[in-house]
Amino acid sequence: MQNFIDEFTLNFIEKNRYQYIAEGFINTMIISLFAVLVGIAIGFLVAIIRSSHDKTGHMKAANFICRIYLTVMRGTPTMIQLLIIYYVIFATVNIPKVFVAVVAFGLNSGAYVAEIVRSGIMSVDEGQFEAGRSLGLNYRQTMQFIIMPQAFKNVLPALGNEFIVLLKETSISGYIGLTDLTHGGDIIRGITFSAFMPLIAVALIYLLLVTGLSWCVNKLERRLRVNER
C-alpha cells in the first residue's frame, strides 16, 4: 500500500506532474470535439452529393472528387495522413499543432461519416421519397424533411461508434509532437521511469470518456426511437 502511494506521488503529485495529463486531456478533448464537427460537416456534405448523384445523375464532377477523397482517406493509414498534413501540407506555415490535428482527424473521420450517412440514406425506403415528391415537394425538401431525419436515426449507432473510434485514434497525435492525453502520460513515464501508473491512468480516462460517450449515444437513440410503437 505504501508502495502504491509512493508511486502515485512520484508520478502525479511531485513537481505537479499531473499537469502533463491535464494538458493532454484538454488537447484530446479539443481535437476530438472539433474533429467530430468537421467530420460531420464533411461527411454529410459528401453523403448528400454522392446519393444525389446516384438518384438524379447530376453533379458528376463533385461526385468524382468525393470518390477520390473517400478512396484516399480510407485507403491510407490515419497516421500517415497526420504526418503528411503536418510535415508536407502545413510544412512552411506556422500553425498550432492542435489545429493541424483537427484538420487531419476531421478529414479522416469525414470519409467514414460520409459512407455511414450514405448507407443510411439508401436504407430509407424509396417509397418515402416518392411520396414526398408526389405531393409536390422538391428534391431538397424531400431530403430535408423526410429522408435525412430517418437516415440519421438509422445510422446513429454507427455514427456513435465512429466518434468513439475517432476519440481513441487521436492518441497518435504525439507523433507530431503534440501533448495529447496519451503523449502526456508518456512524458511522465519518460521522467519517472515507471510505466504502470501513468499508462493505467491514461487508459482509465479513455475508458471513462468512451463509456460516457456510449451512454449519451444510447440515450439519444432511445429518445429518437419513441416514434415507433
Partner 1 sequence: MSGNVLLEVKDLKKDFGDHAVLRGISTRICQGEVVAIIGPSGCGKSTFLRSLNLLEAPTGGSVIFEGNEITAPGTDVNKIRQKIGMVFQQFNLFANLTIEDNITLAPVKLGLMDKEQAQKRAKELLGRVGLPDKADAYPAMLSGGQKQRIAIARSLAMNPDVMLFDEPTSALDPEMVGEVLELMKELAADGMTMVVVTHEMGFAREVATRVMFIDEGVICEENTPREFFEHPGNQRLQEFLSKVL
**What are the residues binding partner 1 (CB under 8 A)?**
125, 127-128, 130-138, 141, 145-146, 149-150, 153, 227-229
Q: How far is the CB of 48 from partner 1 (least distance, A)?
A: 17
Query: How many C-alpha atoms does 101 have within 13 Å on its Cβ side?
Result: 25
Q: How far is the CB of 224 from partner 1 (least distance, A)?
A: 9
Helices then strands, counting H and E runs in the chain, come out as 10, 0
Report the residue number, 92 or 227, with the smaller CB distance to partner 1.
227
Report the residue number, 106 or 120, with the smaller CB distance to partner 1.
120
Q: Which three cell numbers stand for residue 15?
A: 513537481
Q: How far is the CB of 208 from partner 1 (least distance, A)?
A: 34
Report the residue number, 130 or 221, with the smaller CB distance to partner 1.
130
**Largest CA-CA distance found in the chain, in angstroms, rounded:** 75
Q: For residue 140, which amino acid is it?
A: R
How far is 93 from 99, CA to CA, in rounded Å? 12
Residue 21 in contact with residue 29, Cβ under 8 Å? no
Place of cell 482509465: 204
Report the residue number, 9 or 141, with the smaller CB distance to partner 1.
141
**Which has the closest alpha carbon to 109: 86, 145, 81?**
81
How far is 229 from 222, CA to CA, in rounded Å? 12
Q: How far is the CB of 125 from partner 1 (least distance, A)?
A: 8
Q: How far is the CB of 149 from partner 1 (least distance, A)?
A: 4
Report the residue number, 38 or 147, with the smaller CB distance to partner 1.
147
